[in-house]
Amino acid sequence: MYFPLVTPLELLWNGWRASYVTTADERPAGDGSIFSAILASGLPDDHTHIVHRGRSTFVIMNAFPYSVGHQLVLPYREVGDLEALEPDEAAELWATVTDAVRAVKAAMSPQGVNVGINLGKPAGGSVSEHLHVHVVPRWVGDANFMTATANTRTLPESLPDTAAKLRAAWPRPSLGAP
């Protein structure tokens, strides 16, 4: 009789995913994106992992990051298309992306940084109704066997700790909660 080898790598605990899986469909359609809900929550930035607030954009830690330090840069206004941004929103968005890259380089000393945006569900947009730019610090070897074989990412630091580092390294003052 054949018994497959079961190793601890096949049974990895990542309990933080439970909140995502169990609440993904709880918000009724039309209530806005998860980002709009966070902004409307009234919770403090250190609780919601908002790193920076500008006049028309903000930066939040990705709750389900590709690597430690993964930030999302968004307009406050919920739009799904890049071309739907007002000129001042677009200018601030890209200036804030640049500041997010500066902050992550200063706080974490990555060997590289990915900056990207997925427009629309077919392009990979997980919250396609509220465009967001990914700023992802990268290190040689950070995409290891864990993602490929266990569908799991290893993150050596908690979101609140990383957010605090990024806030401290941010190149311009934040406006704080509106």
Element (H, E) at 74: strand 71-75
Q: Which of 49, 70, 130, 132 is catalytic?
A: 132
Q: Which two tokens stand for residue 108?
A: 């974490």
* Rounded Cα gap, residues 94 and 90, in angstroms: 6
DSSP three-state, residue 19: helix
Q: What is the DSSP letter of 141?
A: T
For the chain, what is the largest distance between any 2 Cα atoms, rounded to a whole number of angstroms? Answer: 68
52 catalytic? Reply is no
Number of H helices, E strands in the chain: 6, 5
* Rounded Cα gap, residues 93 and 75, in angstroms: 7
The set of catalytic residues is: 132
